[in-house]
Structure 1
């Protein structure tokens, strides 16, 4: 199993959906997309073995992968969409304020930008209380964390992403969903997975503010300019919720979720002998 398949507890969520032990997911026979992107769904910094299938979130991503020569791509939907399907929204969800996700770096690149300017813009834009969710890399910087806290924000972190089969966090997406369900709005300074997650989970999304940048950032697959062109409807301090939800369904593959039997078969996971063959029809052609 490629270690990225465990990121954010993705393999654990899928194992639970399939009725397997979500504390120890089986080996996943392929590469699972672990974040929204505008390329082929796979991280450009990872090495991949030719011929190994890719399990992608959406049909749009599969088509892009096909055009780039990755022909063994299967649309399975995002792990977050499966988690939401297992924990559907209710009218009893008490929502207040905004959860804000500043653009973050990763182990190989840090973010460069004006956090003070961003905090001021958030304050000018948001009416209610604001929760700022920092990525683990920024959260462990006490100085940065305290700057956001001093500005009056509640500051949290959903957890560690995990990497190289260490520091795995099966509860990451569960905590993220719980936080999204308690907020009316979700926002970021760049269109990202969290914004789509929030839109799917009933939040009013927004993308505004200094987009910041990564050290030595490259505009792969068109970069920020392309995102601004293709997903213009999702940018701005006020975005139409119905449009955002429709786009989130498309990008997260929420309308393409497989049955547990189909997903087991496609991922190469164990299948109960009692599952009818009819449930598997068409799984290898998706």
Structure 2
């Protein structure tokens, strides 16, 4: 019912797994990234009534995340765990004989901001740090960072190969991330983020280290919370990305188990039940009307203060430095667009990221 359901190629992958030629309108809201807080507060804040009826569900990846559970979200709306789209893509690829490899060498994914709140800090220092620890690496930049000459020069001048997975509305986005996460000898980032959890879930060594840079209102307390809650993803020395070799294999195995729990590996559905959970078993006009009419109006009402977020949602948004008025900088960004095209079924190949 909202454009976020189609972010990062998620609906395209789910449609391929469900046996459909292209995505349909989802009867509810689908979690679109790993979060260190409740996705109900972080992703569904603009739609406080969704989830109160079984006709429009809140579809989350997992009920086993360390960050939240259905009982402590502070919202009270029921959620349905369906697993992360990347795990459905993994199933599709394994069925075609794909296995992960180390062919790309080290991959680094710098933590990025958004068009609303930018990450600030010394990219050049971080780029040199990565080159010192891992050597010349494949660095995946956010597509908006890829248009910033200061950022691209910082990483390129340090000897790295720059790629991007594309815009968030690109249906092939997740295939490109899978190419990186599934073929890296190690995937690192300077903040615990979705890409790190993806890599660990696939069995790729994954680590968080380096200057975390500055994002919104987040300070040292937020970073300390990430380290204390998910120590399996963090290196022993946050400054050089290293950890004792004797414990590396055990930490990688622990991180894989944890990541698969965070992504909802135990909640994955077969194609028929998945179609039912997404509202794709039958064609009805309700999700279409919600997508093109009700959803934009609901977002506008939230920005203008005509409706209010829950206390948990307000806290989650403010922690990231977001203000409702920031959305007015890009008032057309959240408007509904035609549904993305489908992927080849079966999905037989991964799509390499675009180079700078």
Task: Answer whether TM exceeds 0.5 for this pair.
Answer: yes
Distance 1:207 1:158, change over 3 A: same
**Which is worse superposed, 11-20 or 117-126?**
117-126
Residue 62 (structure 2) aligns with = 58
- The whole-number CA distance in structure 2 between the counterparts of 1:54 and 1:91 is 32
- The whole-number CA distance in structure 2 between the counterparts of 1:125 and 1:94 is 17
CA deviation vs aligned residue, 1:41-62 (integer Å, no higher than 9, x gap): 1435840132242111111349
Residue 212 (structure 1) aligns with = 213
Are 1:253 and 2:264 matched, yes or no?
yes
Are 1:264 and 2:275 matched, yes or no?
yes
Residue 152 (structure 2) aligns with = 145
Q: Is the 8 A contact 2:181 2:202 kept in 1?
A: yes
Q: Is the 8 A contact 1:39 1:64 kept in 2?
A: no
Give the TM-score of the pair, scaled to structure 1. 0.84
Note the C-alpha offset of 1:193.
0.6
Q: Is the 8 A contact 2:18 2:271 kept in 1?
A: yes
Q: Is the 8 A contact 1:13 1:82 kept in 2?
A: yes
Note the C-alpha offset of 1:192.
0.6
- The whole-number CA distance in structure 2 between the counterparts of 1:92 and 1:178 is 9
Residue 201 (structure 2) aligns with = 200
Residue 283 (structure 1) aligns with = none
Distance 1:9 1:81, change over 3 A: same
Distance 1:91 1:159, change over 3 A: closer
Q: Alignment partner for residue 79 of structure 1, among 81, 85, 108?
A: 85
Q: Is the 8 A contact 1:4 1:32 kept in 2?
A: yes
Question: What are the ranges of 5 or more consecutive residues in structure 2 without an aligned counterpart?
Answer: 236-240, 284-356
What secondary structure, in the 3-state scheme, does the structure 2 residue paired with 1:270 have?
A: coil
Residue 224 (structure 2) aligns with = 225
Note the C-alpha offset of 1:96.
4.1
CA deviation vs aligned residue, 1:144-185 (integer Å, no higher than 9, x gap): 212211110000000001xxxxxx311000111112233211
> Runs of 4+ in structure 1 displaced over 6 angstroms?
none
Q: Is the 8 A contact 2:100 2:183 kept in 1?
A: no
**Which is worse superposed, 80-89 or 147-156?**
80-89
Q: Is the 8 A contact 1:93 1:182 kept in 2?
A: yes
**Which is worse superposed, 68-77 or 82-91?**
82-91
Q: Count how many residue pairs are aligned between Structure 1 and Structure 2.
A: 261
CA deviation vs aligned residue, 1:51-91 (integer Å, no higher than 9, x gap): 24211111134953432133320110001111111112745
Residue 184 (structure 2) aligns with = 183
Q: Is the 8 A contact 2:5 2:29 kept in 1?
A: yes
Give the TM-score of the pair, scaled to structure 2. 0.68
Greater length-normalized contact order (CA 8 Å, ≥ 6 residues apart):
2
Are 1:118 and 2:129 matched, yes or no?
no
- The whole-number CA distance in structure 1 between the counterparts of 2:68 and 2:124 is 40
- The whole-number CA distance in structure 2 between the counterparts of 1:40 and 1:29 is 20
Distance 1:91 1:85, change over 3 A: closer
Q: Is the 8 A contact 2:127 2:155 kept in 1?
A: yes
Please give the residue correspondences for 1:3-82 in structure 2 after superposition, counting only pairs within 5 Å.
3-22=3-22, 25-42=23-40, 43=42, 46-50=45-49, 51=52, 52-61=56-65, 64-67=69-72, 68-82=74-88
- The whole-number CA distance in structure 1 between the counterparts of 2:166 and 2:100 is 26
Q: Alignment RMSD, CA only?
A: 2.3
Question: What are the ranges of 5 or more consecutive residues in structure 1 without an aligned counterpart?
Answer: 162-167, 273-286
What secondary structure, in the 3-state scheme, does the structure 1 residue paired with 2:21 have?
A: coil
What secondary structure, in the 3-state scheme, does the structure 2 residue paired with 1:66 have?
A: coil
Distance 1:3 1:110, change over 3 A: same
Are 1:102 and 2:110 matched, yes or no?
yes
